[in-house]
Amino acid sequence: MAQVIFDGVTKRYGDVVAVDDLSLSIVDGELLVLLGPSGCGKTTALRIVAGLEELSAGTISIGDAVVNDIDPKDRDVAMVFQSYALYPHLTVARNIDFPLRQRGIERDERARMVNEVATMLGLDPYLERKPAQLSGGQRQRVALARAIVRSPQVFLMDEPLSNLDAALRVQTRADIVSLQDRLGTTTLYVTHDQVEAMTMGDRIAVLNHGVLQQVAPPQELYALPANVFVAGFLGSPGMNLVPGRLDRSAGGATVAVSGGTVEVHTRVHLPADPDAAVTVGVRPEGLFVDPHGAVGATVTIVEMLGAEAHVICTLADGTRLVVRQESTVPRPAIGEAIKIRIDPDAVTLFDTAGGKRLEERE
């Protein structure tokens, strides 16, 4: 087990910068999720740790050693691929045994290790089957077993759940978390699925266009997004972002948005400019359909999700808002003009020009 440190890591493909000056440390034993949309550089960052991509600049360390020039096989990392990358001509037992054969371990000892891992992952009944005879979930577990059997310093997982169906994904992600917890192996986990990231990560690092946006524990990331990208990307649906203009005429602070005004707390560092452009961010659960609300909107869609409903409406300027409601609350009709109340405690303000969150005052 070991910590992994990215220090100023950059990867360029010609003119395209896939990873841009990434500095990030993954603590020993931690499960850190690299999260971002497709093409954000998260898989490239993972492959850099594995040694499958060379760095354009910066250093990468595993444990206490800089591994820039160390071969993948000597880095003592194990990777679980999105495609599982199982050897189709070998049985499950031989697949799990594959990394051990190279290490000069006695045959009996290898068999014992394979059986132990197979039992841990419930693969005993399938040891003599070929990968083609397994279901997606079983293949996924074989891929995990092959990674675990070596007891590497670091696990690298590249979207390992994306080929599973929804129900199995929920089950497997819980299995991976408890397995990682039990083994205590430092794990770097790549996904584009923010629910996966929120439920699995000790911390989440959000990447966009190769640039690190924020690293924080899931709850902090959700409550205090560093910028509008993180705010919009995390949460399902993401944070509502409404363009507005600061208004201090009434002594306190309000933000004028299309369709009404939003009251905000003045405990954040407001811009010096009294009518600065700001972006009001508010999670769907901070909005309420209320006849006494301050912002007018028109309902466009109502999505029923069982326990809750999403009321999707538009403001006069076309900005889309999502309001989360308990399913027991009466739902407005499509096309209805409604008023929306915004909980001032739920409002996060962003500087429109830079997209950064306005910090709270000490």
4-13/16-26 β-pairing:
antiparallel
105 forms part of the interface with another protein (CB under 8 A): no
For another protein, which stretch binds (CB under 8 A), given 59-67, 75-83, 230-238, 253-261? Answer: 75-83
Tokens encoding 338: 């409604």
Asked if omega into 237 is within 30° of 0 (cis), the reply is: yes
78 forms part of the interface with another protein (CB under 8 A): yes
Task: Name residues contacting another protein, limited to 134-163 (CB under 8 A).
Answer: 146, 150
Tokens encoding 171: 């089950």
Tokens encoding 41: 């550089």
Q: Contacting another protein (CB under 8 A), which of 1, 17, 85, 256?
A: 85
Q: Contacting another protein (CB under 8 A), which of 12, 21, 28, 50?
A: 50
For another protein, which stretch binds (CB under 8 A), given 95-103, 170-178, 244-252, 274-282? Answer: 95-103
Q: How far apart are CA 183 and CA 215, in angstroms?
A: 24
* Strand, helix or coil for residue 320: strand
73 forms part of the interface with another protein (CB under 8 A): yes
Tokens encoding 179: 């397995």
**Closest approach of another protein to the CB of residue 125, in Å:** 24
Q: Contacting another protein (CB under 8 A), which of 87, 133, 266, 301?
A: 87
- Beta pairing partners, 324: 310
Q: Is the backbone of residue 163 left (phi > 0), alpha (psi -120 to 50) or beta?
A: alpha
Give the Cα-Cα-Cα angle 143, 171, 151 (nearest 5 degrees): 35
Q: Contacting another protein (CB under 8 A), which of 23, 59, 83, 249?
A: 83
109 forms part of the interface with another protein (CB under 8 A): no
For another protein, which stretch binds (CB under 8 A), given 12-20, 46-54, 207-215, 235-243? Answer: 46-54
* Strand, helix or coil for residue 186: strand
79 forms part of the interface with another protein (CB under 8 A): yes
For another protein, which stretch binds (CB under 8 A), given 70-78, 169-177, 194-202, 300-308? Answer: 70-78
29 forms part of the interface with another protein (CB under 8 A): no
Q: Which residues lie below 8 Å from residue 5, measured CB to CB, with a gap of 6+?
A: 24, 25, 26, 59, 60, 61
264 forms part of the interface with another protein (CB under 8 A): no
User: Which residues make up the interface to another protein (CB under 8 A)?
Assistant: 50-52, 72-73, 77-79, 81-83, 85, 87-89, 98-99, 102-103, 146, 150
